[in-house]
Amino acid sequence: MKYYLLTIFLAAALFGCKNDSQDAADSAQAETVTPAQPTAPAAGEAIANPSNYKFPDIEGKVWKLSKYEYDGKSNAPFEQSVLTLEIVEDKVSGNAGCNDYNGKVVLKDKGSVSFSAIASTKMRCDRRMTQEVRFLELLESANAYEVNPVVLRLKGPKGSLTFRNDGH
């Protein structure tokens, strides 16, 4: 009986010993950015036939943030974070670097845009939170856009967001 209890105790003690660096790697992996919708295509791919959209240069694509301007300073996103934007009809969704977000969007001819009812998940991601707060603030304040097949730029009184879509 002693050996049986000793074996159980040793097994429990060994099971409790974990490598902290592996925990950190697991935690970092858990914070890996995922698309807002699990069925969304990879960045650069079209979601559906562009002829179905009123604004085919913008809608149905997953745009990846390449830089943003905030308080007059140009910034690149952190290397480990992929910030995305996807517009389909009157809905916007994506990932703000840590949390998924969604809301409503109104695109108009001649480069006018407005975003509203932006909501996001509430996961905390240390260094990336400042970037995420700025991203969402710039998105909500955007009132104009410029687009070509590869670049989408959203502009507003607080700064700008520049996205790329390198798909073919």
pLDDT one-digit tens code per residue, 70-125: 999 999 999 888 999 999 999 999 999 999 999 999 999 999 999 999 999 999 88
User: What's the whole-number mean pLDDT along residues 9-34?
Assistant: 43
**Mean residue pLDDT across the chain:** 80
Looking at the structure of the chain, the number of domains it has is: 1
> Residue 129 falls within a domain, yes or no?
yes
| 30 Rama sector, left if φ>0, alpha if ψ -120 to 50, beta otherwise | alpha
- E strands, the chain, are 62-70, 73-75, 84-88, 91-95, 100-108, 112-120, 144-147, 151-156, 159-164
> Residue 2 falls within a domain, yes or no?
no
User: What's the whole-number mean pLDDT along residues 132-136?
Assistant: 97
> Residue 124 falls within a domain, yes or no?
yes
> Residue 8 falls within a domain, yes or no?
no
Range of the domain at 60: 35-164
> Residue 117 falls within a domain, yes or no?
yes
> Residue 87 falls within a domain, yes or no?
yes
Partners of 160 in the beta sheet?
A: 69, 155
Q: What is the pLDDT of residue 166?
A: 84
Indicate which CATH number applies to the domain containing 47: 2.40.128.270
Per-residue pLDDT tens digits for 2-15: 555 545 555 544 44
> Residue 138 falls within a domain, yes or no?
yes
Q: What is the pLDDT of residue 126?
A: 80
Q: How far is CA 61 from the centre of its chain?
A: 14
